[in-house]
Amino acid sequence: MENSKNKFHDYLLLEKNYSQHTVTAYINDIGFFESFLSNEYDDDNLLRVNYNQIRSWIVSLSDDGISNTSINRKISSLKSFYKFLLKTKQIEVSPLLKHKALKSPKKIQIPFSEKELDLVLNQITYKEGFEGIRDKLIIDLFYTTGIRRTELINLKIQNVDLSNKTIKVIGKRNKERIIPILTIIEEQVKKYLSERSSIQDVKEADYFFLLTNGVKLNDSFVYRLINYYFSNVSEKVKKSPHILRHTFATHLLNNGADINSVKELLGHSSLASTQVYTHNSLAELQKVYNGAHPRNKK
């Protein structure tokens, strides 16, 4: 089976253009299922699997306290693998042909308020020099562009175009998009680049954002940074880069932006992905509507 898994790995990476992080998650999920088969059925041959075995794994995961959302993600990895086996004619029928996803509660992402953003960007004190300037720019770039965490980490210095006030980011499946930046961001970028030039021993000079040791940012650093600064101004449970992306979209929609324009800025392939951000903008619209319509004043 290792050969099939290796080919599936390459297929996801090279043909589907999935990120290495996503591909690793898929392969790990398949590996966990393989281990389950070995332990429970003394047979880890994935080509001989039936749906009852998959259902047993689902029950086992649920008994271990794994959420329905996480179970669905693992089963999605298996589905993709069996689709690949069908495509490459290694099996004739997928054991997941009639599987239906488990019901999972819809999570409402609560964006930061405009007041919270104002406090973080204009009221709190940042460190002097490179670190403070970098941290503030990271937060402001998330909020003013809706960029994803991975896109920000992998932003190349050559793709920051101050003359046109744009940045070019590489999104999911290697899709490129151009995002405009505000004048206030342009000013911060210039200040940041000035401080960045003073870093000794830069190891990954191609990347725009660097740590003090001259290497590019990593996922955990960016998450901790956002959580740290917003913990000073917000009591929301979740404080993450994705919430800033959500905030970007919600605030644009609240202030009259066209949903198709927001879709393009976010890099969504379908409008359905963008529509999840309309929940809060509709609530805001309803509040304005209730306060303004004459029929509601009688």
Residue 251 annotated as catalytic: no
Residue 268 annotated as catalytic: yes
CA torsion 48-34-106-22 (nearest 10°) is -110
Residue 245 annotated as catalytic: yes
Amino acid at 142: F
Least Cα distance to 114 among 238, 280, 289 occurs for: 280
- Which tokens hold the place of 295? 């029929």
- Which tokens hold the place of 268? 């969504």
List the catalytic residue out of 165, 168, 242, 279: 242
CA torsion 222-141-230-132 (nearest 10°) is 70
Give the three-class secondary structure for 47.
helix
Residue 242 annotated as catalytic: yes
List the catalytic residue out of 79, 245, 246, 251: 245
Least Cα distance to 99 among 67, 119, 77, 132 occurs for: 77
Please give the Cα distance from 208 to 156 (Å, whole number).
Answer: 5
List the catalytic residue out of 74, 239, 251, 268: 268
Cβ atoms < 10 Å from Cβ of 198:
8
Residue 293 annotated as catalytic: no
Give the three-class secondary structure for 107.
coil
In this structure, is the dihedral angle defined by the CA atoms of residues 141, 142, 148 and 150, taken in order, positive or negative? positive
List the catalytic residue out of 74, 134, 148, 251: 148
List the catalytic residue out of 172, 177, 236, 279: 172
Half-sphere exposure of 148 (CA within 13 A, CB side): 14
Q: Please give the positions annotated as active site.
A: 148, 172, 242, 245, 268, 277
